[in-house]
Amino acid sequence: MVQADIPQLSGECNTWREALRKYRDEFSKNKSHLQQVASQPLDKDQLQQVEHLHNQFHIQLINIHDLKQAIKTHDRKLSMEIADSDGSLNKDTITYHENLQGQYQSLEKTLQELREEFSGFLERAH
């Protein structure tokens, strides 16, 4: 068992989930906006970009959901481990927390790149 700052780990989980909720809302709106843009006359390259962005929004919304659920489950496990022990966490739990942090950072980087790609597309489409 490893001593860990449980409130800090739980707080990180809550911060990640809140950020993912914001990304979900943003990308859901972007997906709808993309559909509006797609209803305008577009050339072949623009249509291919619309399809690419639509697919990326769909995939990333799934990734957001899956990671948010994994974080939620992990946060519950943190609470259960604390209740069942002397305030110590299993080393595997801390390792998994660090793994989730890496997944979150990687997804956040991907989402920011998609945000920039969409913004560039909108600038060129107008």
Range of the domain at 64: 2-125
- Contact residues for 121 (Cβ-Cβ < 8 A; gap 6+): 49, 50, 53
Total domain count for the chain?
1
Choose between 112 and 126: higher pLDDT: 112
Please give the biggest Cα pair distance in the chain: 65
Token digits of residue 14: 């809550």
DSSP letters along 51-78, please?
Answer: HHHHHHHHHHHHHHHHHHHHHHHHHHHH
Q: Indicate the pTM of the whole model.
A: 0.91
Mean pLDDT over 105-109 rounds to 98
Identity of the amino acid at 108: E
* Phi and psi, residue 43, nearest 5°: -80, 175
Per residue in 30-61, pLDDT tens?
A: 999 999 999 999 999 999 999 999 999 999 99
Cβ atoms of 110 and 60 closer than 8 Å: yes
